[in-house]
A and B are shown apart, each in its own frame.
Chain A
């Protein structure tokens, strides 16, 4: 699958401003809610996961994968995409600061493997990622993703 298929424009925010990591995660949560993937409660669950386990969700330089576990607040499996105008520190030892937050919600442990595979392909492609981070509209993010050939 292509990541654009999993990201309607309502699930995307570009060059957003967040004053701290909590605000950045909330933006990703807001997009999950706006696109009908989760209810509001899931945003709090994502923040609680970071409080509990630390900023391990910053899994690559500049990239945070905000998520919690399957719960009643997850209406369907899906993702959101928030690029930040100014990088935000999450407190990670090596991968700070964060420029892109992808929110992830899943109804079970296996149903989102294709999405994750597509995401891994995009994240591994540095030039594609740079263009995506510079994109100034949800429509452009979707267009760039749609053009991105699977690795």
Chain B
């Protein structure tokens, strides 16, 4: 499972999202690799990823990619990330 956490700048929100996505994967017992990326490189990375995690505002900027794009409302809520990942990948 390859996951890309995307934010506008690649230093702030995506880093928080990456840390909490890793916690979510551990809780799910899923083996996965999470990388943080800024919107500039996200489209390229999304080509080889299974899942893209990002915010509502940025999801529209990412546009159509082969990966499943999941919108996260609360980046600090590991439970929300776990629930949404579980719903997508079972």
Contact = CB atoms under 8 A, between A and B. Distances in A.
Contacts of A109: 10-11, 36
Interface string B48-73: 00000011111001000000000001
Interface stretch (B13-21, B24-32, B82-90): B13-21
A69 to B, nearest CB: 4
B9 A69 contact: yes
Interface string A51-95: 011111101110101011110000000000000000000001111
A104 interface: yes
A120 B14 CA distance: 12
Given A59-B75, A68-B9, A112-B11, 5 more contacts: A61-B74, A65-B12, A67-B9, A67-B12, A69-B10
Contacts, number: 80
Q: Give the one of B12, B39, B58, B77 with max A CB within 10 A.
A: B12
Interface size class of chain B, counting residues whose CB lies under 8 Å from the partner chain: 20 to 34
Contact of B15 (A56, A68, A95, A112): A112
B9 A54 contact: no
Contacts of B56: 56, 93-94
Q: Give the one of B17, B55, B73 with max A CB within 10 A.
A: B55
A117 B20 CA distance: 9
A119 interface: yes
A53 B12 contact: no
Interface string A92-132: 11110000000010100100110011011001100000000
B8 A49 contact: yes
A52 B38 CA distance: 13
Contacts of B58: 53-54, 56
Nearest to B55: A56
A56 B57 contact: yes
B46 interface: no
A72 B17 CA distance: 26
24 contacts: A49-B8, A53-B8, A53-B57, A56-B7, A56-B56, A59-B16, A59-B75, A60-B74, A60-B77, A61-B74, A65-B16, A67-B9, A67-B11, A67-B12, A69-B10, A94-B74, A104-B12, A106-B12, A109-B10, A109-B11, A113-B15, A116-B12, A124-B76, A124-B77
